Structure 1
């Protein structure tokens, strides 16, 4: 649900992008039904995340590549502004900015 909302999709839009019925998507999202493997793949593609992230919350190279693809759309100034936002976010989380 979090990723769907990050993308600004309604359940209906996410269901449509996943080629699933809205009703079925809703019952899956609320935990009343489980997805079969092929449906998991459809939802992962529609939400632009890996199946690992969808199933276990684990980020893998697919997720990193999706972020890189999004970053490549930014110009230099926008990218540096985002870098500052990320640095401040890490500080707010308590990460030492000297850690690599």
Structure 2
């Protein structure tokens, strides 16, 4: 098994479900993306993003083969979220690296 690198992001908002659906529907036009309830999954060429909506936040776990892929996934998710959440007072995600996990 190949080592995978993960990062966990949180965007504090009462509109998490709305943004989860918007992100997945947007990406589904070009890459595999799906929504099931309060969970979403997007498969990029460089890795994956797992999204989870709560009443208070949108949580995202990005997984890639290396730090560069993880950093790129963070940037892609955050850039798109900023476009959808432009009415929010704060549009930055808080990211924390996770320890390397087995794929």
Q: TM-score, normalised by structure 1?
A: 0.30
Richer in strand (by share)? 2
> Normalising by the residue count of structure 2, what TM-score does the alignment of the two structures yield?
0.30
Q: Which has the higher contact order (CA 8 A, sep 6+)?
A: 2
Q: Highest Rg: 1 or 2? A: 1
More helix by share: 1
